[in-house]
Structures are given as structure tokens and as C-alpha cells.
Structure 1
């Protein structure tokens, strides 16, 4: 299958809604007609595998899988038949080959195998050395012998787990189970036996793992089996081994390994049992149903709780999301941090198959998780990668959703001097016009106004002029509500749209720009922001510093660069759309929004974050914004979707 068809298929598999030809044409930088031809060709390729691409006029395309197993066979056949034809694919292929090799591999043989020149291969090896460095492994080159990876066996296994398998399904999916069987030289039936005994042993020992962690543990056990058979064993410092043997997880690992030794007819030395223990320590969950904060105190040590609280303080200080007091979030962070700290201690990386989806669908939660990760770095010198950050983002995202669910309609009292009939008329009109936005909790005569329960309402609607100062806002209307009265009430209730206008002033909006690189865009927008605000001289460096932690391209042609910490005198966005998509790390981008948040602000910015979230997640909205030719049409499109 051609590379372009493969990218289109991946876009369909990644998307939760329909995908338009216009969006695909911008991602691939080809015409919509070419995309339509590609989809016809792709449909032909999929037709024998119980899968097709359905077109809905005015909406777009979406993937329909009628035979799940046949479709997986198609995906497996594609991965088998294709040699790597991009730099990323070559790096993955070469790294996998080197990690699984027991002897030297000649450069000429590698070049011939994947049909590239030695000079191209040398460029790829630079990237491979950088990847191996993350695992404290080195790529040695010996004249007349070739290339070989050197380093600690434990680190090598972590790297094998990360780069030798493509597994995104829950449980031993047939596609990656076949991969595993070939790599560890075991049959699929034996691997299924190992999987089932692993489930049974964990159940008997009351150990709870997530589906992803279960998959990872299974793969690591299979890797251990292969490496032991090849004569490679884990070396641990005696002090580390003693500490591991004292953990409750060691007893579970011992029980698991006894059964595995019988099934595979292999002996696991003590260090290998410790290796399995490390994985249990790095993945074990606590069933947190009905778990109280006091229970967390019993389970978690003081350092973990203290760290979680510092993370929440930092998130609240930087983003003011109002989730600091969320007890469920505190518990979730505490339960996640302990195994995460164990993973860091033993150099264990964790794969997060949801990484791209989390970044695309929960950009604010991911940003908050990055801020939390910086606390770990500064307090404990623990530096975690994007995969780990994304798991933190899941807990934070859930807290943000809970916070939104608590946003009930605004509560009001009606004050009317004309009697119950007039008051009821006002009430019914309000409930008809603002049924989801306003809840009328009571009515009162003017002379009883001081008896109104001010602490349980948000404002008063009064047909009587109110001269005295009250603890809640008063909206004065006529005894018979007219259009001007309704507009006055709507303005009060929907003040969020006014805020959105404030966030996107016309002088900060640059449409249809001709920039061709990420750097050009960042420096242009940073320069414009500095001209209009008192920002530090090294402001652009601070924006690049944030990009270095993780790219701010979130998918759907959108990037939202920003400094790590709030620096501005007010909160605002500086936006540009581009004539053509540009490369932003591994994504295409055509809509760029430089975000500046007021330092030490106590404002609730949820309206703005909600707006940015809609932009990131709505391909149709992005297409409308990119095509806007003037500020008014651009702004009206945003307001219409707010």
C-alpha cells in the first residue's frame, strides 16, 4: 500500500467522527480530487477484508469495519509486506533488528536489506544512537564486524519492549501475539497459556493492573524468557535485590514465575524474579472505589502525598482551573505517583497507546500535567516523558470534567411590585427563553427584598428600581418583558462571549499568512505580543523552552505555543492562520494560537480553554477559520461555536 494511502487510513482509524476530503488534502498537501481517487483505491484494497470507507454528502468519510478479524489480518499483511520507506520507519526497523541481534550486524547488509545507501543509513544511525542514549545503551561499531548494541541487560529489555512491538489493543490481540511468538520463538498457544496463568495468579494474589499494564507485563515476561534462553541475565546490585525482595510484589512475582517455569521448561534466577517484581511495582493499581482520603494516607507514604499536593498547587497557580480541592483528583494522583516513581528509579519506561488521543482531545489537561511534571523534576529530580505525562493528564482531565458538571444554571429571584400575576408572567418568559441557563428559585415583593436568601442565588431580576446596595447583582426590567429586557438578561448570563471577544482582539489576529516554518510563526507571533505587552526580553526563548518539553501541535492542523509560566499583564490570544500547512514536529499545522495568560490572575479562564478545546477537536470549525478572509467572519465563526 502506498504511503499516502497508509496515512489516510491512519487518519480514519484515529478519528472519532467523519473526516472531510478538504482536511485530508491539507494534511497531505494534495488536491481534493487526488484524495477522492486515493479513497477509491483504498476502498478496493479493503473490499476483501470486510471493511469499506463510507461517504456521506456534506459530512465526509468514515471507516466502516464489518469484520474485525479480517481487518486486522489486512493490517498485519501490510506490516509484513512493506519495507520501511521513511526515515521514521527505517529507524524503527533498524533499531528493532539491532536490539534483537546477538551478534554484530554489518552496515552493508543492513543497507542492502532495506534498499538504502550507506550514507542514508549513517544519518539514521545518528537518531538511533540518540534513542539508545535514553536507555543508557550505546551503539558500537567494530571494523570488519559491524554494529552491536552494548549496555546493561535491564536497559536493553526496556528498549526491546518499547521498540519491538506494535500493540495497542487490550489483551493478547492476534496481530501482536503473532509478532511476539516469532520474536521469542514460542508458539501462540503457549503464549496464551502464559497469559491465562498470569490472569489467574494476579487474581489469586488480589493484584489489580490496568489492561495496558497487563499487556506490558506479559510482553516483559516473554522478553525475559527469550533473553534467558539466549544466555542473557539481569544484573542487580545486591542492595537493590534485597530491597526488592522485601516488597510484597516479590511474593506475587515468585508465584507467577513458578508456574511459568513449568509451562516453558525454563529456570528464572533470583535476579529475573526481581525483574518481574520491578514491573509489578511500576504498574500495580489500588482499587479506588469508595477510597477515602484517610485510606490514601494509610496506603501512600507522606512523600507521595506531599508531592501530589505540590502538583495541585502549581496547576492552580499557573492555570487557575479550580480543581485544587478535588479529593478524587488527589487520590488519583497519589495512586499514580508511587508506581511512577518506582518506574523512574529502575529506569523503566512505560508506553501509553492513548498519548496522541489525550494530547488531541484534552490539551488543557495535558498542559496541566506538564506543569505537574515540572514539580516532580524540581523537587525530586525525576524527569518523566510524554507517555507518563499523558497518564497524569487523564486524572486531571477527569477533574476538569467534574468541575464542568458542577456548573449548574444561574439561580435568580424575581422582585415585582405588581402582584403575583405579573411576577409569574416574568418567570414563565424567563424560563421559556433561558430554560438551561437560568433557574428561578423564588419571587418576592419589593418590601420583602431583605428576606431573599442572597447566599443561595446569583442575581435578582426586578421590575422595581432598587436603590439600596445588595450582595448580588440586580437586573432592572419592565413589568412586561420586552426584547431590550431579554437582551439585558442575556448579556448578564452569556458574558462568556464578551470575554471571548476580549481574548481575541482584531489587532492580535493575522489571517492567511505565508510563513513556511514553525520558527517563522513563533518568532512573528512572539514579536507581535511583545509590541503590545510588557513581556520579558527573552520571551521567545521561553516559548521555545516549552516546545522542547513537548510539541504544542495538538492535531487537527492546530498548534498552541506558549511559555511555561504566565507572564502577561492580561490574558489574550495572538492568532495566525496560514495559506498552506507547515511541519510542526510530526504534525501538519495551519492554525497557530500563541497563548498568553495573565500572571497571578485569579480569573476563571474556563470559557477560553473550552473555546480552544473546541477548535482542537472540530475539523469543520478549523476549516471555516482557516478560510476566513477577514476578522469579522473569523470572530463570528468562533462565537457561533462557543
Structure 2
């Protein structure tokens, strides 16, 4: 959502859902859902849907909107142990602080907040003024009041889009990680290469993701170094007629020509094709109609084989049905080629989305870990957590595409007003959702207990249902309102899972006194071993997974699990603590240990989504932590899932 708001703030025209989906690397449907959620969160502004044009941010109260941004995105050094130290970090902090303040800020306050002298801040402010000048914004200084930015609201908004959301970290060339390794290129040359790429991409309205931009930049920089060193390497020799006909090929040709002129080099002809493929990304699938075997001929042979090995491992472990997703094959392969070069040259790229990926897409992150393990085995390179996050994004996009292709959900209609009103509900739902939803049956409430629910995904009811059921119940009006349809739509396009199958009272341990992660894991694993659910290797596998990346997801929650399935059944084990403990870099008081059945074909995606819903619900986690009986705990958990 941060990226969506950033893009909407920076635009002076409406943006289509397709474009927003592209920059956030999700499906158009997911982008539309995210826009709805963002609109509900905004204060002092709303997102307007303009027919045939897209979405546009409209600000009706500048002060309230700025206050919203300040509360949501303002850094607070005093609350954060990481205080900005370098000149770059201080300038970034000052830019964000001044842009978000609606009133004047005193130098003394900045000095105290940042733990530095006034003279240092005054020096940093010179750089701030230079940046603001590019946006036609001035830094107004008033005696006894302090400092305040002034400019047109649009210019201020555009500048905020660049600095409030830390866009500058990604919009600048990653020279810092390259300078030491590519000593044959100067920083000025690297910046020129970046500028050439940016200019050509903007001029031709190509919108690669930030990581794709970094990948392409690093690839060209490394290619320049190798050519200067006399290594004239041809990547592949194939018939590229279809790719040559694409717009991206002409753009790649111009990028190469400008870099050659700038650095006085001659690139191998195949480099143009490689850069074109990179610019096309997964569009290559739709624009050239390539089949899977043809894709293998276009991509680097070794990378293609590693990509297949990664996908085979993911399919074997998680059964996500994404092994033959052609967009995933291309996207992953294009990402891996420069990524592996980065590993070999010792370059690490920070992933600003890593915490969000771990919290919101835990299954996808686990699949990224599996991918990283294959790369370590096949290529002998160590994969860090940031890179795992980027691999996970490709996998997550494939899962979202898979959802769109799934069969219809099945619902049961419960109505108290007679057969006629039940039929009205049925035909309205069929009209609205067509082939995406199948109405299995209609029934009165008193007959509900006789209805089999094994193959039903959810119930639509025009009356309250007090019973605790193993599937979700959506209460609606007999004459469906817009809000009713939105609730049903959310269920139609989401996977569901039955909590009843996995939550057992005897696997709930409340208000425990442990003070370390090791103590918690030892206790929980020993309980499971005593109950005959796992063997003595289980804890070792759980700790092996923790060593890759801690499983604390924020909101005081951790979801530890073995690195590979170890048990004969799938189950959840819960533990709450008297006081929060340190778990990696986060504090944890609620632990949900997940164990998946060996060789399971269960819907793990739904399981993780369900856990994600619990993790994100702050009030629910607090209630669960306060629970004093196992019965209350499980009932509360089931009622909210």
C-alpha cells in the first residue's frame, strides 16, 4: 500500500489498475482490493475512481492529509535505536521530517531529536535546500519559529512521494555496492549508465520494477567491466527474430549504443537481445507466444536449469501448482542471472519490503527459502534474507495468477423468509459472480444441522447463526446491498481453511514463564514428542529453519516450524508467555508452532493466510495472550478465524 500511495501522490493524472498492479507486482484484482483498503485508511484525502481512466488521489484537507502521513510514515529516532548517523541518512531524515510538518520546526528540536549539534544540522540543511530547489520548494526560516517548507501543494506532494516513502533509496543507482567491486568504472560512469537506462525507459513508457531496474543496471555495469578486461563473452546464439520485432529491442539497442559511446566500448551483439528480454520481462510470454520449451532456448541455459530445479523443489515441498507458470519461469530466470552475479561479486541489495513479505506472505517467504537452498546447492552461493524476499515476490505473483484460474467456490444459502427469498438470493449471487461461485443448495436454519458441509466453502445467511460452524458465515440482507456483495466477493476470491481440523485444546499452553526462544522451543517440542506427534529430530529441524531467518512476524507473534515436514499429521501448537521475549530482532509473546504433514497436499496457502489474519489482528492477539483457560483460547481462535 505504501507503493500505491507513493505512485498516486506523484501522479497528476489518473493511474490505471493495470499500471498500479505492475509497479506493485500483483494482479489487477489484488491492486483494486489494495486501493479499496488504502482509501479506507486515508484521512484528509480519498482515491477517486474515474471511469475509463483509472484512480486519482484527491486531497480535500491538506493539513489532515499531512497529519495522516506524519503519523503513518514519520521516523522517530528517539523510539528507534538506529539514529541517522551518516550525512545521507541525516539529509533523508530531515527531508521527511520537514515535508511532513505542517508548522515550523525549531533547530533546537531537530538537534535534540537527532543527537547532533546545530552546526552539523545547518551543514546538512544546505543539502536539503539543494534538493528542495529541484522541486521549486523553498525552506522558509523565521526567527523564534524555526524552519518550514513552502511551495505549491502539487510540488510538495510530488516531493513527498519521493522522500516520505524512501523512494530515493531505490531511485538512485546502487553505486555504493558496485564501486568497490568494479574498480575499472568510476562513480561518474556508473551514474551515467543509470541515467541512460532511466531516460530510455521513461521516454518509451516502459515500467520495470525497482529490483528489475537494479538487476539490469548491475548486469550492464558488470558487462562493461568484463569487456574492458578483454572478456568478450557471448551469452547465447539463437534465432531472436520475434524479440527483434518488439519495442523493447529498439530501446535496448539505444541503451547499448549510448553506453558504448560513453565508455568507448563495443558490446557483443547478443547483449542487446539480453537487455531487450530484461526490459520485456514477463511480457515476453504474451507478446511472442513462446511455449515453455522455447523459453528455455532464449534464456541462459545454466540459469534455465537452475530455475527449473528451484521450481521443482518448491512444488515438491509446497504443492502450489506453479511449476509450469511460464511468467514465473521467465521472471525468476531474468532475476537470477544478475542476482547470481551479485552473489559472486559480494554485492548485497537491501530489500525494503522484507518485513512486509514475511508478515503478509509467510508461505511465499518459506517458498523463497526453499529456492535459496537450491541456489546454494546448485551454484555454491549464499543467499541472504533480502534476496529470499525478492525470490518470494516472483513466487507470490504466480500464486495470485493461480487463484484466478481456480474453480468456483461453493456456498450454501440459509434463509428464514421462505423458498422465494432464498431463490432470489441464489439467482442474484449467480448473476453477480457467474462461474466464480456455485450455489450448492438453499435451506432453512432449522435444517442446517442436517446439511453436509464437507464441500461447502462458506454460508450466506439472511439471519444470525449462533452456532459455531467449521466454515465461515456471511450474514447479509435478503435484498443484497453493496456491502453484502463486497463481503461475498472477498470470500469468493480467497482461499479458506478449516481451523477445527488443526486446533486442539491439549496443544495449547498458556501464560508460560520462559525468557528465551531456546526455552520456548525446547518446551514445545518436548510436549509434542511426549504426545507421540513428532520424533527427537523435530526440534533440530525447527532450529535449522530459525537459523535461516527468525520467524517473528511482528505484533508479538512468532510462527516457528521445521525446515522440512516432519510429522504424520498437520497441527498447530500454541504457547503464550507471561512477558514478551526477544526473538531475533522482534519481541514475541504469542507463539504458534506449525507442523505440516510429510508429503501433504493440503491447502497450505489457506493455512498461512489464516495464520496471517491472526498475526495482523492486534486486538485478537492481545485477547489470546490474556486468555486463562484452554477452552476460552480455542473458542476465541475459532470464532475469529
Q: TM-score scaled by structure 1?
A: 0.56
| Structure 2: runs of 5+ lacking an equivalent | 1-36, 43-61, 76-92, 102-106, 117-162, 181-187, 238-248, 459-469, 473-496
Aligned to 1:387: 386
Does the residue aligned with 2:232 lie in a helix, a strand or coil? helix
- Equivalent of 1:256 in 244, 259, 273: 259
> Residues 328 and 398 of structure 2 are in contact (CA less than 8 Å); yes or no, is this contact kept in structure 1?
yes
Q: CA deviation digits over 1:494-542, x for unaligned, max 9? A: 5557831221100111122221111111111111122223533232111
- Equivalent of 1:288 in 282, 289, 307: 282
Aligned to 1:485: 447
Aligned to 2:232: 242
- RMSD between aligned alpha carbons? 5.5
Aligned to 1:624: 623
> Residues 510 and 575 of structure 2 are in contact (CA less than 8 Å); yes or no, is this contact kept in structure 1?
yes
- Partners of 1:171 and 1:246 in 2: CA distance: 35
Matched, 1:586 2:585: yes
Aligned to 1:528: 527
Aligned to 1:371: 370
Matched, 1:82 2:114: yes
CA 1:507–1:412 in structure 2 vs 1: closer, same or farther (change >3 Å)? closer
- Equivalent of 1:71 in 76, 96, 107: 96
Aligned to 1:503: 502
Does the residue aligned with 1:314 lie in a helix, a strand or coil? helix
Which is worse superposed, 234-243 or 318-327?
234-243
Q: CA deviation digits over 1:604-633, x for unaligned, max 9? A: 234322211112223233222222222233
> Residues 533 and 569 of structure 1 are in contact (CA less than 8 Å); yes or no, is this contact kept in structure 2?
no
Q: CA deviation digits over 1:17-74, x for unaligned, max 9? A: 989xxxxxxxxxxxxxxxxxxxxxxxxxxx999954699xxxxx75699xx9963547
TM-superposed deviation, 1:331: 3.1
CA 1:439–1:169 in structure 2 vs 1: closer, same or farther (change >3 Å)? closer
After superposition, residues 468-479 of structure 1 pair within 5 angstroms as: none
- Partners of 1:437 and 1:632 in 2: CA distance: 39
CA 1:412–1:508 in structure 2 vs 1: closer, same or farther (change >3 Å)? closer
CA 1:208–1:604 in structure 2 vs 1: closer, same or farther (change >3 Å)? closer
Paired residues, number: 444
- Which has more radius of gyration? 1
TM-superposed deviation, 1:372: 1.7
- Partners of 2:332 and 2:437 in 1: CA distance: 34
- Partners of 2:170 and 2:290 in 1: CA distance: 37
TM-superposed deviation, 1:592: 0.9
- Partners of 1:524 and 1:620 in 2: CA distance: 26
TM-superposed deviation, 1:638: 2.6
TM-superposed deviation, 1:242: 3.3
Q: CA deviation digits over 1:103-142, x for unaligned, max 9? A: xxxxxxxxxxxxxxxxxxxxxxxxxxxxxxxxxxxxxxxx
> Residues 409 and 439 of structure 1 are in contact (CA less than 8 Å); yes or no, is this contact kept in structure 2?
no
- Partners of 2:372 and 2:540 in 1: CA distance: 20
> Residues 362 and 608 of structure 2 are in contact (CA less than 8 Å); yes or no, is this contact kept in structure 1?
no
Does the residue aligned with 1:588 lie in a helix, a strand or coil? strand
CA 1:307–1:193 in structure 2 vs 1: closer, same or farther (change >3 Å)? closer
TM-superposed deviation, 1:437: 10
CA 1:71–1:337 in structure 2 vs 1: closer, same or farther (change >3 Å)? closer
> Residues 538 and 562 of structure 2 are in contact (CA less than 8 Å); yes or no, is this contact kept in structure 1?
yes
CA 1:369–1:219 in structure 2 vs 1: closer, same or farther (change >3 Å)? closer
- Equivalent of 2:166 in 166, 169, 192: 169
> Residues 67 and 100 of structure 2 are in contact (CA less than 8 Å); yes or no, is this contact kept in structure 1?
no
- Partners of 2:168 and 2:96 in 1: CA distance: 17
Which is worse superposed, 192-201 or 625-634?
192-201
TM-superposed deviation, 1:237: 11
TM-superposed deviation, 1:552: 1.0
Does the residue aligned with 1:491 lie in a helix, a strand or coil? coil
Q: TM-score scaled by structure 2?
A: 0.56
